[in-house]
C-alpha cells in the first residue's frame, strides 16, 4: 500500500508568516498534485508536478517535486487568511488508475 505522509498535520499561523508543508512517500510517482479543500467543498487542484526537481510557482505558492519523485513540498510566502484550508497532496504512480492522497495538512491563518 502506497502511503503519502504529510507534515505537519495542523498549522496555525498569523497573516504574513511563511510556511512549508511536506509530502513524503517511499514510492515513486509519475506525477504529484496538490489540492486545497475548504470545509464542505470539493478539493480544488492547485498544481501538478511531473519532473524530478521541478519547481512551480503559483503567486505566493511554490511547489517542488523531489529529485527522486518520492516527495514534494509546498511553500507559502506571506500567508493570507484566504490561504486557510486543508492542503492535500496526491500521487499518481502511472500504473494504477487512481490517485493516492496524502493525510492532509490543515492550515489556519489568522489576522
Which residues does 94 contact at the CB level (< 8 Å), separation at least 6? Answer: 29, 30, 31
Q: For other proteins, which residue of 11, 43, 63, 69 counts as binding (CB under 8 A)?
A: 43
Question: What CA–CA distance (Å, rounded) separates 108 from 79?
Answer: 10
Q: For other proteins, which residue of 7, 12, 44, 58 counts as binding (CB under 8 A)?
A: 44
94 binds other proteins, rule: CB under 8 A: yes
- 86 burial via Cβ count (<10 Å: 0-12, 13-18, 19+): middle
In the complex, least distance from residue 15 CB atom to other proteins, rounded to whole angstroms: 27
What are the residues binding other proteins (CB under 8 A)? 30-31, 33, 35, 40-45, 48, 88, 90, 92, 94, 96-101, 103-104
Amino acid at each position: 500500500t502506497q502511503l503519502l505522509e504529510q507534515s505537519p498535520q495542523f498549522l496555525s499561523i498569523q497573516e504574513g508568516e511563511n510556511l512549508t508543508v511536506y509530502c513524503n512517500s517511499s514510492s515513486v510517482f509519475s506525477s504529484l498534485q496538490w489540492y486545497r479543500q475548504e470545509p464542505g467543498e470539493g478539493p480544488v487542484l492547485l498544481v501538478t508536478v511531473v519532473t524530478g526537481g521541478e519547481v512551480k510557482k503559483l503567486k505566493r505558492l511554490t511547489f517542488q517535486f523531489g529529485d527522486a519523485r518520492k516527495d514534494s513540498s509546498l511553500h507559502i510566502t506571506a500567508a493570507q487568511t484566504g490561504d486557510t484550508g486543508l492542503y492535500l497532496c496526491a500521487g499518481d504512480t502511472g500504473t494504477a488508475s487512481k490517485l493516492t492522497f496524502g493525510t492532509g495538512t490543515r492550515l489556519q491563518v489568522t489576522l
